[in-house]
Amino acid sequence: MSNTMQSKVILITGASSGIGKATAEKLLAEGHIVYGAARRVEQMGGLKEKGAHVLKMDVTNEQDLVDGVGRIMQEQGCIDVLFNNAGYGLYGAVEDIPLEDVRQQFEVNLFGLARLTQLVLPSMRERKRGKIINTSSMGGRIYTPLGAWYHATKHALEGWSDCLRFELSQFNIDVVVIEPGIIETGFGDVLSAPMLEYSGEGPYGQMAEKIAEGTRKSYDSGGGSPASVIADVVSNAVAARKPKTRYVAGKLARPLMFMRKYFGDRIFDRILASQIG
């Protein structure tokens, strides 16, 4: 490999499927040392066969995080890149979702990755190099109906990442935000089923039904970009001497973010309303 593509030790969370799995496969093929972490270890057999080191890791479990980082440090002596990719979407009307479930959304999408980052940073600071790559979403810059709590976590992650980037620049540690658009994963079903449980009946029922139908079509029926699109972006960020602070990729990400930024709230509201009648 060239100097920019020399083998790196990379930890990826949420590696059992979707973006995490596709990224792990690509980075393994490029010769990197990859640790794939997920709650569902049994779903990472294919990655293990391709050379990945598999970790059982629930990002909300402190001991899992400590043990995982400890194992990598013992086996490799360093972590060059942390790809915080684990997360999920919690959809439903604001008044319908119990705060207990909301807190769990924040635990996975924000606090878990924040704690893992805290554990990885000391060794990066000592070596004065490293990269933290965080999977946000176009949802970190826009909003969609019944997605208040999910968007709240992603908007928070964006601000958190900006502050972290500034703090760590003095130690030559890069912080990168990935903002995917619509990607062909199981996200549609993961989003729609709970949303209908929370808000499928009652005052938000009609809206929930229409959003669920549109989401399934967008995410799971060839309507999105393949996960490999994001894997390519992460690979570029890993290889770059000075990566971008943000990478936008995937279907509809750029146009929707453009409309949100330049058209204003009322027009964006109308665009969303037109999609759900």
Q: What is the mean pLDDT of the segment spanning 268-275? A: 92
> Does any domain span residue 249?
yes
217 catalytic residue (yes or no): no
For the chain, give the percent of residues with pLDDT over 90: 87
User: 67 in a domain, yes or no?
Assistant: yes
> pLDDT for 76-109, tens place per residue?
999 999 999 999 999 999 999 999 999 999 999 9
Catalytic residue among 35, 154, 161, 235: 154
Considering only CA atoms, which of 137, 153, 142, 81 is closest in space to residue 265? 142
Secondary element (H or E) of residue 150: helix 148-168
* 3-state helix, strand and coil shares in percent for the chain, rounded to the nearest 5: 55, 15, 30
Domain with 23, as residue range(s), is 3-186+226-272
∠ at Cα 196 (194, 94), nearest 5°?
Answer: 80
pLDDT score for 275: 82
Say if residue 113's pLDDT is above 50.
yes
Q: What is the CATH number of the domain that holds 181?
A: 3.40.50.720
* Distance of alpha carbon 240 from alpha carbon 102, whole angstroms: 36
Residue 206 falls within a domain, yes or no?
no
Q: Taking residues 153-159, report their average pLDDT.
A: 98
Count of structural domains within the chain: 1
Averaged pLDDT of the chain: 93
What local confidence, expressed as pLDDT, does residue 276 receive?
A: 81
What pLDDT score was predicted for residue 15? 97
Active site residue 154: yes
Q: Which candidate in 16, 137, 192, 235 is catalytic?
A: 16
Confidence band (pLDDT; 50, 70, 90) for 219?
low
In this structure, is residue 13 part of a structural domain? yes
Q: Which of 8, 35, 91, 136 is catalytic?
A: 136
Beta strands 130-135 and 81-84, pairing class: parallel
> Would you say residue 203 lies in a domain?
no
Instruction: Check if 136 is active-site.
Output: yes
Q: Is residue 208 part of a domain?
A: no
In a domain, residue 254? The reply is: yes
103 inside domain: yes
pLDDT-based confidence at residue 187 (cuts at 50, 70, 90): low
Q: Quick one: pLDDT at residue 188?
A: 64
pLDDT tens per residue, range 36-70: 999 999 999 999 999 999 999 999 999 999 999 99
> Which positions ≥6 away from 249 have C-beta within 8 Å?
178, 179, 180, 181, 225, 229, 230, 232, 233
